[in-house]
A = this chain, B = another copy of it.
Amino acid sequence: MSLHAKIGVVGATGAVGSVTLALLAERGYDDVRAFASSRSAGTRVPFGDRELLVEEATPAALGARDLDLCLFSVGTTASRELVPAASAGGALCVDKSSAYRLVDGCPLVVPEVNGERAHDALDGDRIVANPNCCTIPLTCVLRPLHEAAGLLRVRVATYQSVSGAGARRMSALAAEPPEQHDLVMDWRWEGDESDEEAKLRAETRKILELPELPISATCVRVPVMIGHSEAVWVELERPLEPDEATAVFRDAPGVRVLELPDFPTPQDAAGQDEVLVGRIRRDGASPNGLALYLSCDNLRKGASLNAIQIAELLLGALAPTAR
């Protein structure tokens, strides 16, 4: 039944929106509409073996009471305008911008980590926020570590692909002479850190329900098309040997463990649903410390797939069989 849910994909022409459409088609959803800004309205986008006409994303169109669910991958300003309209029109909303992530009462959900929180939205304003593309894989590995041995402190250095900055940045990288490739921190500065670093901390704390967890992040954009990687150091309350951590990850949903000589790479993560985790070893610089390294497809699990998984939790809860 939920495969026939009326779904709107808002921001359908962007890097994340196009992957969202591909994943929805793969999963068998058939009643999908594409929305984008006036600039793209009237064009067509691929959807499985057919095409969808792109409609203009306006509060009126999204609030017209003919959508069961809307998946938003637009900027924060556009989300703030469009999401309330869609919600008021009766659609369940999954928003991938940062507009609602830290709003009290709005669930911020990684299904493998805190999927049960998605249902809270059904009693509220029916909006679920999708975390930042670095937060999602990080919480997928931190949650099982916390359950096994208690998290005390987290440090993370990111290696984020340009697709995280949108389709135009992908084209720019493709056109750039390789000797001009650079590492950048293309975020807004908030005090002494980037808003990306602040988001990674605040969102991770909210999802893990550890509001005081010390997290220090350095976020860096690297000249890779798809796939975010993270070098992570954790300090734990109780000792956890690397082989015990490996066993914990083998049982963790959404995580795939690689062991040397294999290690996670963006190329291996791209197109995969799972977070790849490897290089699990002692951090010789702290007593109960572990170091590890992860890669994740930032357009799939880091964005579109996670949002669809949230949508499916919501649709499942609404389906007659689940009531």
Measured CB to CB, the residues of A under 8 A from B are 153-155, 157, 159, 173-174, 176, 178-185, 189, 192-193, 201, 214-216, 218, 220, 222-227, 229, 231, 233, 235, 242, 260-261, 263, 265-267, 279, 281-286, 289, 291, 293, 295
Contact = CB atoms under 8 A, between A and B. Distances in A.
Contact of A214 (B192, B260, B285): B285
A225 B183 contact: no
Which of A153, A181, A261 has the most chain B CB atoms inside 10 A of its CB? A181
Contacts of A189: 260-261
A218 B181 contact: no
Given A153-B285, A192-B281, A218 B183 contact: no
Contacts of A233: 155, 216, 233
Contacts of A224: 181-183, 222-223
A279 B218 contact: yes
B178 A291 contact: no
19 contacts: A153-B285, A155-B285, A176-B178, A178-B178, A178-B225, A181-B181, A181-B225, A183-B222, A183-B224, A184-B265, A201-B284, A214-B284, A214-B286, A216-B233, A218-B293, A220-B293, A222-B222, A231-B231, A233-B233
